[in-house]
Amino acid sequence: MKDKGIKQRVADVLRFKKINVNRASKILDIPQRTLNRQVNEDGNISMDLLYAILDTFTEISPLWLLLGEGDMVVCQAEPAYQAPYYNDLPVSAGFKDALDSGRETPTSYISIPGKNADFFFPVSGTSMEPEINDGDIVGVKRVGRSEGIVHGDVYMVVTNDNRMIKRCYHDNNDPNLIWCVSPNYPSFPIHKNDVCALFKVVNRIETF
């Protein structure tokens, strides 16, 4: 069955608990207007709402709520790695250092059983739509610089000047070049020596 999306899963939780938006806003401690906009109107589902659901309704599976995998209700405790979530990762000339967990404080943490992301953050921009949409949350795992690229996979590539999510390809003629490809912008090459850090996209959470 096709995944109905995270907005529909949130609505499914409210139906499962037999509560309306007014009652849910009190239980989850989220303003009714905010909750109604996210659930019934065109607002994006926020991480605050997802955390509130998982903290309050502990029988709801994080894997199902966030990714649409498995069953809604957890029959028994599932071991989960607490991956840091950064709501606003800085973009600067020293961005490679800004990913040091000792220097950056996570906004919160995300638990997805069986998933191995090093950290999560929201995507800004439309270059990868419809594969990855503006506002989606992605989980990434660090790999060994540019030589770790699997031809055609999606990565967050960090250079001294930029942080970008692209589908990456090796150049057929020059082994020192990587091609960065996205659906909505022209492809361009970068030199492997310009890559400060490389993270493979291993999870995606749609926010609407």
Residue pLDDT, tens place only, 81-124: 678 888 876 533 233 344 554 456 778 877 766 567 888 888 88
Q: Are residues 41 and 94 in the same domain?
A: no
Q: Residues 39, 208, 140, 120: what is their CA dihedral angle, to the nearest 10 degrees? A: -30
Question: Phi-psi category of 70—alpha, beta or left, where left has phi over 0 and alpha has psi -120 to 50?
Answer: left
Are 194 and 136 members of one domain? Answer: yes
Q: Which of 67, 94, 109 is the last residue of a domain?
A: 67
**At which residue do the structure tokens 């998933």 appear?**
115
- pLDDT tens, 162-203? 888 999 999 999 988 999 999 989 999 999 888 888 889 988
Nearest to 145 by CA among 193, 94, 197: 197
Same domain, 10 and 110: no
Provide the 3-class DSSP secondary structure of residue 154: strand
**Domain span holding position 141:** 82-205
Asked if residue 87 is part of any domain, the answer here is: yes
Instruction: Tell me the HSE value of 126 on the side-chain side, using a 13 A CA sphere.
Output: 1
Looking at the structure, tell me whether residues 185 and 115 fall in a common domain: yes
Q: What is residue 92's predicted lDDT score, i.e. its pLDDT? A: 31
Q: Which CATH number does the domain housing residue 19 bear? A: 1.10.260
Do residues 155 and 165 lie in contact, with contact meaning Cβ atoms separated by under 8 Å? Answer: yes
- The candidate with the shortest Cα–Cα distance to 53, out of 33, 24, 80, 32, is 24
* CA distances in angstroms from 195 to 21, 111, 190, 201, listed in the order given: 47, 29, 8, 16
Give yes or no for residue 146 having a pLDDT over 80. Answer: no
In a domain, 72, yes or no: no
pLDDT in tens, 19-46: 999 989 988 888 999 999 999 888 889 8
On whether both 99 and 53 belong to a single domain, the answer is: no
All residues at 6 or more sequence positions from 208 whose CB lies less than 8 Å from its CB, including other chains: 5, 6, 7, 42, 43, 44, 45, 135
The domain boundary, picked from 40, 67, 94, lies at 67
As a whole number of Å, the end-to-end CA separation of the chain is: 18
